[in-house]
Amino acid sequence: MSYIVATDVGGTCTDTVIAASDGAVHIGKVLSTPPDFATGVIDSIRSAATAMGLSSTALLADTNLFVHGSTVVDNTLLTSSGSHTGLITTRGFEDTLRVTRGAYGRWSGLPEDQIKHPVATDRPSPLVDIGCIRGVPERIDYKGAIVEPLDTAAASTAIRYLLDEQQVSAIAVCLLWSFRNPQHERAIRDLINEIAPACYVTLSSDIAPLPGEYERTSTTVINAYAGTVVQSYMENLHSLLATEGYDGPILVMQGHGGLLPVAEASSRAVGMIECGPVAGLIGSRHLGQVLSESNIIAVDMGGTTSKVGVIQNGALDYAREPMVNRYHYLAPKIEVASIGAGGGSIIGLETGSLAPIVGPQSAGSRPGPVCYGNGGTQPTLTDVMLLVGYMHPEHFLGGSIALDRSACLDVFDQVIATPLGMSVEEAAFGIYRVACSQMSDLIHEITVERGLDPRDYVLHAFGGTCPMLAAVFARELNVARIVVPHTASVNCAFGLVASDVVHEYTETQLLGLPAPADKLNAHFEPMVNAAREALGAEGFSNDQIRIECAVAMRYGLQVHELVTPVAGGFPLSDAHVEQQIVAFEQLYEQRYGRGSAYREAGVELTQFRVTGRGLMQRPGLVSLPLGSSDPTPAKIGTRQILVESRNAFVESPIYDFAKLRPGNEVAGPAVIHTPVTTIVLQEAQTGRIDAYMNTVIEFE
């Protein structure tokens, strides 16, 4: 027996999926261990190994590959705990980070209620102190020609000032038009390495060789700011895994939906932003392929946040303007919409109106919700789930944590119910509905507001909290049905073992269409060769390598582009070029409405993209034979639970997921307890256990 081990670190829990060579999938889940998240990774692996009847050392001795996803970069940015960072830029452009993108920078990334008052908004505080920004004499023009040579003496002075006077430990280098000609940036990097070899250096020409002065600078700074944290974290994790007996390869998830070797990932910290939720989307797409579902709304509601992504015709869309904590960045990233609402979200009352608020602040894993008994003093959504009867002290995480309902009741009554003049039950019902409405609004935003009809989609509900709310908000959205994956609470970790190794390459070049195919191929060819060479060096054979080409396209005089896949592949023929224009216009009308395409304006290519994909072995999910529909053998009792349609507690059956079998059908209202999450069925809903042990919820 051999294994692939995948561990995803979240803000509240750390999840592990073990894919065995016989097709079996094993699960581990523990609370995260901030700030030392690497320790939680080992704890999670031990949790999975124990459930398999193995020690962690025995498991890792037979492990061929370790795959990892982590919120380490997100946490670093959200908590402002990155390196003391310096920035070297072209003289005269030292204020780029503070100017952002004009007035738009004042409100980009803010919630809608704050955008309504633009005068009261402000730009996010730069990650680099103003005293740590130094401009150096040099100039490269838009064609890549050197207009003014780099003043190496001035560059050395700037470097020594940042290191000696400002005591920075990381330096970002972003010069004008360096993506056309990186010569000056590389010269500055060589100077830094000569003066301070231990200093972490990020060049914009390496991390974001794309136009957009502010976004490129922001990306470079983010990478430098979080880079040393990622490097230290990965070194610590590698050491802990080695202590447990693992000395094989480590692959790290990226926000573009692929994996990278740990050494490369450590130098591309910005690529790890939101990699966990993206892995969840990859897991949903893989499961959708198994279940013959190509249109999926994937909803991940964990302990800290809720993330939603859409899979349309089996494809994932890229974010047009990736952003983290209001900082723009230039890196390919799968689109994920999010809000600060999860199981650990703190519940409060708005000053004056006493309107209930769910999130965005979170209790995390330490101290966590009040019911955890770890010192939490503020009520959370998890506490509400206990109060409405969905969670039970004896069944949470397989009974590994004893929940304190009495403490939860007292705090909720004091902080929420009494100020509202309600009973605890009434207030808990109301909070539950607020959380469901927040999820419904978020999904509506990423579907209906973009011209997508939820009725054409299946909703995948995963994360530790989502299966307790999905029965309500999915019904409001009129989705076709709900699928709660067997790996529901660890679906992001499952997505890690369903991912491929991916290398991304880009070149910025303006080219009007139509144009000879040879012109396009000349831009694609060097990147295609680089992708094949990189994947070949990592051990992939030719039949395991896939090359995907795309171009960013727009109409004349437009600013924003649409990334359009090249359907014909590489190399292109002249017929493919005409097909590419048609494909762009179809995508344009799909995004902006029928009739919006306007070829008379002229069509331009602005960017060439190549994705090199090294195909990894997929987990072979085991299909079990379907049996009786009767779930009675799995019934473990009854309990008073909130039935939302009745606005009341109703005595309802409770089931143990471990005792359910494929083919069983559970009629709602009911609760199914699994070792890693809780599934709630509302009235007029039926949950069917399919051949892969997923719970498929149909509406009557």
Q: Is residue 535 within 8 Å of residue 611, measured between CB atoms?
A: no
Spatial CB neighbours of 435, under 8 Å, sequence gap ≥ 6: 341, 345, 358, 381, 384, 469
Question: How many CB atoms neighbour CB 128 within 10 A?
Answer: 23
Please give the distance of CA 26 from its chain centroid, rounded to a whole number.
Answer: 22
**pLDDT score of 671 more than 80:** yes
pLDDT confidence bin for 399, thresholds 50/70/90? low
Q: Residue 198 falls within a domain, yes or no? A: yes
**CATH code of the domain containing 486:** 3.30.420.40
Q: What angle do CA 75, 210, 326 make, to 5 degrees?
A: 30
**pLDDT score of 415 more than 80:** yes
**CATH code of the domain containing 549:** 3.30.1490
Q: Higher model confidence: residue 130 or residue 113?
A: 130
Residues 121 and 161 in one domain: yes
Q: CA–CA separation, 670 vs 678, rounded Å?
A: 11
Average per-residue pLDDT for the chain: 90
pLDDT confidence bin for 227, thresholds 50/70/90? very high
Q: Reduced to 3 states, what is the DSSP secondary structure of residue 109?
A: coil
Q: Higher model confidence: residue 197 or residue 323?
A: 197
**pLDDT score of 230 more than 90:** yes
Residue type, 593: G
Residue 379 main-chain phi, psi, to 5 deg: -65, 145
Residues 182 and 280 in one domain: no
Q: Is residue 471 within 8 Å of residue 440, measured between CB atoms?
A: no
Strands 562-565 and 603-614: unpaired
The mean per-residue pLDDT over the stretch 21-29 comes to 85
Residues 478 and 561 in one domain: no
**pLDDT score of 124 more than 70:** yes
Residues 93 and 200 in one domain: yes
Residues 279 and 294 in one domain: yes
Element (H, E) at 88: strand 85-90
Q: Residue 654 falls within a domain, yes or no? A: no
Dihedral of CA atoms 235, 8, 39, 306 in degrees, nearest 10, equals 120
Task: Quote the DSSP letter at residue 417.
Answer: I
Dihedral of CA atoms 365, 323, 227, 503 in degrees, nearest 10, equals 110
C-alpha separations of 628 from 176, 625, 679, 685, 699 in Å: 68, 10, 20, 19, 20
Residues 529 and 572 in one domain: yes
- Out of 227, 249, 267, a domain closes at 227
Element (H, E) at 113: helix 112-115
Residues 487 and 524 in one domain: no
pLDDT confidence bin for 322, thresholds 50/70/90? confident
Q: Is residue 273 within 8 Å of residue 333, measured between CB atoms?
A: yes
Q: Residue 351 falls within a domain, yes or no? A: no
Tokens describing residue 688: 């069917």
Q: CA–CA separation, 349 vs 640, rounded Å?
A: 27
**pLDDT score of 12 more than 70:** yes
pLDDT confidence bin for 546, thresholds 50/70/90? very high
pLDDT confidence bin for 583, thresholds 50/70/90? very high
Residues 301 and 449 in one domain: yes
Given CA atoms 339, 343, 349, 355 in this order, what sign does their dihedral have? Answer: positive
Q: Reduced to 3 states, what is the DSSP secondary structure of residue 274?
A: coil
Which residue's structure tokens are 């989502």? Answer: 466
Question: What digits encode the pLDDT tens for the residues 141-187?
Answer: 999 999 999 999 999 999 999 999 999 999 999 999 999 999 999 99
Q: CA–CA separation, 572 vs 518, rounded Å?
A: 8
Spatial CB neighbours of 410, under 8 Å, sequence gap ≥ 6: none
Q: CA–CA separation, 241 vs 360, rounded Å?
A: 34
Q: Residue 646 falls within a domain, yes or no? A: no
Q: Residue 155 falls within a domain, yes or no? A: yes
- Out of 200, 227, 254, a domain closes at 227
Nearest to 455, CA basis, from 681, 284, 590, 297: 297
pLDDT confidence bin for 605, thresholds 50/70/90? very high
Q: CA–CA separation, 659 vs 663, rounded Å?
A: 12
Q: Residue 188 falls within a domain, yes or no? A: yes
Residues 523 and 580 in one domain: yes
Q: Residue 66 falls within a domain, yes or no? A: no
Element (H, E) at 216: helix 213-243
Given CA atoms 432, 436, 439, 441 in this order, what sign does their dihedral have? Answer: negative
Domain that holds residue 282: 275-341+435-497
Given CA atoms 94, 97, 98, 103 in this order, what sign does their dihedral have? Answer: positive
3-state helix/strand/coil string of 158-195: HHHHHHHHCCCCEEEEECCCCCCCCHHHHHHHHHHHHH
Residue 173: strand pairing partners: 88, 203
Min mean pLDDT across 122-126, 526-530, 555-559, 608-612 is at 122-126
At 354 the pLDDT is 75
Q: Is residue 123 within 8 Å of residue 98, measured between CB atoms?
A: yes
Question: What digits encode the pLDDT tens for the residues 87-123?
Answer: 999 999 999 998 888 777 777 877 776 777 777 788 8
Number of domains in the chain: 3
Q: CA–CA separation, 326 vs 332, rounded Å?
A: 17
Q: Terminal CA-to-CA distance of the chain, rounded, Å?
A: 44
At 365 the pLDDT is 64
* Percentage, residues of the chain above pLDDT 70: 98
Residues 490 and 505 in one domain: no
Q: Residue 298 falls within a domain, yes or no? A: yes
- Out of 561, 583, 614, a domain closes at 614
Strands lying side by side in the sheet with 670-673: 635-643, 648-656, 670-673, 678-681
Q: CA–CA separation, 8 vs 16, rounded Å?
A: 6
Q: Higher model confidence: residue 534 or residue 32?
A: 534
Residues 113 and 199 in one domain: yes
Tokens describing residue 177: 């038009």
Q: CA–CA separation, 452 vs 444, rounded Å?
A: 9
Residue 540 main-chain phi, psi, to 5 deg: -85, 135
Min mean pLDDT across 112-116, 263-267, 542-546 is at 112-116
Q: CA–CA separation, 84 vs 238, rounded Å?
A: 25
Q: Is residue 319 within 8 Å of residue 334, measured between CB atoms?
A: yes
**pLDDT score of 398 more than 70:** no
At 611 the pLDDT is 93
Residues 600 and 524 in one domain: yes
Helix intervals (H) in 455-610? 466-477, 491-497, 517-537, 574-592
